[in-house]
Amino acid sequence: MPGIINKKQLEYLTSLKAPSDPLIREMEEFAAQKRIPILNSASIDFLENIVLIKRPANILEIGTAIAYSSIRIARLLTGNATIDTIEKSKDNINLANEYIKRSKLGSRINLLKGDAFTIMPALDKKYDLIFLDADKQDYEKLFHLSLIILKKGGLLFVDNLLWYGYAASKSVPKSFKKSTIYIREFNQMFINYPDIHASIFPIGDGIGIGVKR
């Protein structure tokens, strides 16, 4: 019996959705043209549903890029809920600032400019939800920093844990060999880490969910 994850079925599921609004569609097209990584359709849908179910008051995103996920998340927030998002690329910071301004969600989104390794230890709040989508060689260190500032019962959402399928492949292109090793080592640690209840889901490029015990 064929599995549900194949190109035609994904295209069918995508076709059921109403077209995204102009700003989101523009960001998706820009990211595709400039090869800027953003969450794909299935992954952002999953993240949005988690936000709607959990209703987090404090969210941290590690890796803003052009603020695509930040804006998608911020649109769902209510009350005094906010998202802090960390980005070190000056080019991405400029793009993110412009898109955040156009989204009119600046009161919900706090763009933290600089290196996560410097910024995270200085944060003086605890988070209900942390979204990790940074350089793969940094995942393990950022994971440990995240656990320090994640509330008990808080949720860690990690992207790219199947890494284009190479995490589970015997044949890996030379340009992906090092990053694939990083992801495999992270996955092994993540799933077996005693302080979280962790699962990896075959959604998008592989989504890890960890709930802090």
Rounded distance between C-alpha atoms, residue 132 and residue 83, angstroms? 13
- pLDDT averaged over the chain? 94
* pTM for the predicted model, two decimal places: 0.94
Q: What is the pLDDT of residue 32?
A: 95
What class is the 39-212 domain? alpha beta
pLDDT in tens, 93-115: 999 999 999 999 999 999 999 99
Instruction: State the amino acid at position 180 in one-letter form.
Output: T
Question: Which of 7-11, 88-92, 106-110, 200-204 comes out lowest in average pLDDT?
Answer: 7-11
Tell me how far apart the alpha carbons of residues 204 and 5 are, in angstroms, rounded to a whole number: 10
Q: What is residue 20's predicted lDDT score, i.e. its pLDDT? A: 80
Q: Which residues contact 137 (CB under 8 A, 6 or more apart)?
A: 178, 179, 182
Distances in whole angstroms, Cα of residue 205 to Cα of each of 52, 113, 162, 168: 22, 26, 5, 12
- Residue 2's pLDDT band (cuts 50, 70, 90): very low
How do the domains of the chain map onto residue ranges? 39-212
Cβ 74 vs Cβ 47: under 8 Å: no
pLDDT digits (tens, 9 = 90+) for 162-190: 999 999 999 999 999 999 999 999 999 99
- Distance separating alpha carbons of residues 131 and 73, to the nearest angstrom: 11
State pLDDT tens for residues 64-77.
999 999 999 999 99
Task: Give residue-wise pLDDT tens across range 8-26.
Answer: 887 888 888 887 899 999 9
Handedness of CA 61, 65, 71, 76 (dihedral sign): negative
Alpha helical stretches, state H, the chain:
7-15, 22-34, 41-54, 68-74, 90-103, 116-119, 139-149, 177-192
